[in-house]
Each structure stands twice: as structure tokens, then as C-alpha cells.
A and B are shown apart, each in its own frame.
Chain A
Amino acid sequence: MARIKGYPEALETKLRDRYMYGEDAHPEFTDTVEKISMTIPHMCYQCGTCTASCPSAPRSSYRIRKFVRRALLGLETEALTDPDLWLCTTCYSCTDRCPRDIAPTDVIMAMRNLAFKRDIIPVNFLKTVQAIYTTGHGVPNNDVNRAARVKLGMDADPPTTHTYKEFIPGIQKILDYYKLKANADRIVKEREG
């Protein structure tokens, strides 16, 4: 509850709106991001320690501080359609150093989850899903490696889903539960024909 300070009514209204939501803001975006990320972007005071710690910042226009601000201001479309969203290497340096105990990295992950709901996703992410659906591995074995393994005295395939293929249907069931494979196939087809 904002304190009444005797300002003109318009200013009182503005002060009661702690997040200063503008016309293009979606206030529920702040809550959704906080729920998925399990962190607290609304505590950010924009010191910029995150951007200063970020290995992607010096070589691109990606500014993690800006994304945390967008979370706080409810600027959903601005955040989710910015291609810089995908330049976070998830190194967690910002999270380690944030003086407000926010995990900016997890804010990015939450935003990426929400972007995917709008089919905004780089294709390479979906290809990893497709590989795991078929083999259980994001980086599956190949013939050169199989030969090397045999030379080492190991089985050609590791004792994972590569050898125990009976586990693959279980993995497919999990991915299908979230309709992930169907969505991945659909989006890859739309992009690549």
C-alpha cells in the first residue's frame, strides 16, 4: 500500500504503481518470469554488475541488465522477440556476483521458455531434442568413435541408451508428455521445409 503524500492525484496513481507499467506493458509477465525462474528480478536496482560480468556483452549488443529491466517492467514482447536473448552462455557469473541475490541467468532461461511458447527458438535447440528422441543422446555415437572405443578395449557403444535401447521408449514418453517432439518437428519443418 503506497503512502499518501498529498501529491496531485495523477502522481499518486503513478507512485502506487511500483513497477511504472507503461501502455505496452504486460504486468503479468513479471510474475510469470518470477514463477518459472524462481528468482526475484523485481529486486534489481540496475547496478550493471551482471552486464560487467558477462562474457557475451563485450562482443555483442546483448545486455543482461536490460533483460532484467524488461522482466520488471513487463515488457514481454520486447524481451521475447530480441535475438540477443539467445546469446547467454549460462555461465552464471552474473548470478554469482549480483548484489541483490537475483539469478539473472535464470531470468533469461524463463524468458526463453516463454519465447518457445510463441515458437521463437533457434533451430539448433530443437535438433538436440530430435537427437535425444531417437537415440537418448544429444551428441550420439559415430563410426570413428566406435572404432576408437573398440581399440581401447571398450564396447563400441557406451552402456547408455546406445546399448540398452529398451530405455528409449520411456524417454520418448516423457518428451511426448510435453508434446516436445511434435512441436520440434513442426517448427523445424516450417523453417527448413
Chain B
Amino acid sequence: MEAKHKYAFYLGCIAPNRYPGSEAAAIKTSRKLGIELVPLKGASCCPAPGAFGSIDLNVWYAMAARNLVLAEQMKIDIALLCNGCYKSIWEVNHKLKHNDELRDGVNEVLKTIDMEYKGSINVFHLAELLYDKNIVGVDKVRDSVTNPLTGARIAVHYGCHLIKPRKDREFGATEILDTEAPTWMEELVGALGATPVEYRQKMQCCGAGGGVRGYDIVHALDIANEKLINLQEVGVDALTDICPFCQLQFDRGQIEIEEKFGVKYNLPVLHYCELLGLAQGMSPQDLALDLHAISCEPFLQKVL
């Protein structure tokens, strides 16, 4: 299929450097849905909104603006697959477009590296593009499935920074603006043939953000553990996310939770792009699922 939509693929850090299968899956699955993702050469960390925002918001604006300018120079919108990156790249773009004083300040810094932020492009999360009928839509996602994940019970972790704070956000599909009890991701999970599962406190944070995972890991893990308890209560075969940092917190976090709290869940955690890859016929090897800290085998046996 010829690509109808083309985006600069902003990678961030954790997807390419810890879960490269998500990056591979994003590129391959998007192509089947009419989206071409081209490399955003020279992009850096978004930078991490928790760490940099806490230290000095001005540095956060300037560093994110540099990534935005790279896409502006290509005259092409950005697509990305991480909620944390969305917070930095989308939100700084939004702020600089609407605040002249901020933009002038950022451009003064960027001038020292011969760059200028113009505000000429837009930023999207892949999950939002997949759901948006005007770009892909749930029906097209369903039509692309060759290996339905029938029989698998899958819960969704939405994460925070794609959708919150709601009052700042703008989405093509207004369903995404529901931050209390959204179901659009469940629709996307259902489109793959799996059974989406609801659970208590679905919208709670993973606990990793704001630098807390580095500052007080037991505190951060305790928040993730509460969600894992709630997930265990309803019984799921896998948890899916749209943020590699949440994924890291739930996947590697389960190993740390076992060490620190002595409880074991063995719950496979997959980025939605990885699930979509499996449903479109990619193999676990194509997705480097062996890099996950928690084995995906029990889940894979159910769906392959």
C-alpha cells in the first residue's frame, strides 16, 4: 500500500535503546496502515520531562525545541510512540506556538547553534493516529490483522502524559480527551481479536515519572505494585501500554518488586505496537520479545 501519511519518527530513548522491537514494530505495522515513518536524524532525548522540567524548565523548552526544529527543517510532522516524549515534544511545541515571550527566549538560545524555531509543524502520538478515523481508525486496524489474538485477556495501561492535563490537550478524536474512564485503547485492543479487560484504578500512574523512579524506587514500585494487584484480581494474560517508560516500570519493575516486596506476578507487558505486530503476523523474534524482563511465553502460547 502506498503511504498516504508521512511523519518524522521521533524515537526518544527507551524504545530504541531498551525495547527496539517496539521501534521495529511501529515502522512495519504503520506501513501496512498507510503511514510512512521516516527517521528524524540527529534527534536527542526529548528531554525527559520529569528530570529536565524539574531542574530548569527553560532548558527543557530549548532542548525539546531543537528536536522540533529538526522536523521543521524536513517540513514534516512528528509521530512518536512514548507518552513522556509526547509531553516534551507536543507540549513544548504547543507552548512555543502560543507564547511569544517563551518562543523569543528559546530562539535566542537556538541562535547560538544556527537554528530557529518557527512553529510550522504538528506532533502526534502513534496511538492517537491509529485511533483517529481520518488517519487510520479502528476498522482499518482490524482489517490489517492476519493473526487475531483470540482468547487473550488484555488490560490497558494508558499512562499519564499523552492525555493529561486534559485542558491543554487537543486531539482529532475527541474520545481521547476522556481522562477518567476512556475506552478508546480497549477498542484498539479489541480490534486485534483480544478481549479487553477493565480493572480497578485503571487510570492510575505507573509511578515512574517525575524522577521518582530514580529518587525513591521503593515508592515508585509501590505505585506499580498497586496496579499489578488490581490486574491480578481480574486475571489478565498481558498488559499493554503506549509508553516505553511505563513499560519499563511494569516489566523490569516486576523483577524489582519481587526482590523488594517478595511478590511475583509474571505478567507480560507489551507496547501496543508490539501487540499490533504480533496480530499482523510478525514473529516474537521480529519483535525481540526475548529482551523483556518478564517472559512473554505464556501469552504467546495462547495467541500464536
Contacts and interface: CB of A to CB of B under 8 A. Distances in A.
B146 interface: no
A165 to B, nearest CB: 9
B207 A55 contact: yes
Contact of A132 (B45, B167, B211, B215): B45
A142 B209 CA distance: 22
B241 interface: no
A56 B211 contact: no
Given A96-B165, A149-B20, A109 B13 contact: no
A151 interface: yes
**Chain B: interface size category:** 35 or more
A86 B223 contact: no
A53 to B, nearest CB: 10
A126 B43 CA distance: 21
A103 B63 contact: no
Contacts of A89: 50, 160, 205, 207-210, 212, 220, 223
A43 interface: no
A139 interface: yes
A167 B42 contact: yes
B55 A121 contact: yes
B157 interface: no
Contact of B45 (A136, A142, A144, A159): A136
B204 interface: yes
Nearest to A122: B215
A113 B11 CA distance: 27
Interface core residue of A89, A95, A96 (most chain B CB under 10 Å): A89
B41 A139 contact: no
Interface string B210-224: 111011100110110
B63 A88 contact: no
B219 A59 contact: yes
A154 interface: yes
B17 interface: yes
Interface stretch (A23-31, A74-82, A171-179): A171-179
Interface string B185-219: 00000000000000000011101111110111001
Contacts of B40: 159-160
B78 to A, nearest CB: 13
Contacts of B112: 173-174, 177
B44 interface: yes
A96 B24 contact: no
A160 B11 contact: yes
A46 interface: no
A148 interface: yes
B16 A160 contact: yes
A83 to B, nearest CB: 9
A164 interface: yes
Interface core residue of B21, B23, B49, B63 (most chain A CB under 10 Å): B63
Contact of B222 (A59, A116, A158, A164): A59
Given A128-B47, A136-B45, A149-B288, 10 more contacts: A88-B210, A89-B208, A96-B166, A116-B54, A125-B55, A126-B55, A139-B18, A145-B20, A158-B20, A167-B44
8 contacts: A90-B53, A126-B55, A128-B52, A137-B13, A140-B17, A141-B17, A152-B286, A177-B62
| 10 closest residue pairs by CB, A with B | A124-B214, A91-B205, A158-B16, A92-B164, A167-B42, A90-B210, A136-B44, A159-B39, A139-B13, A112-B54
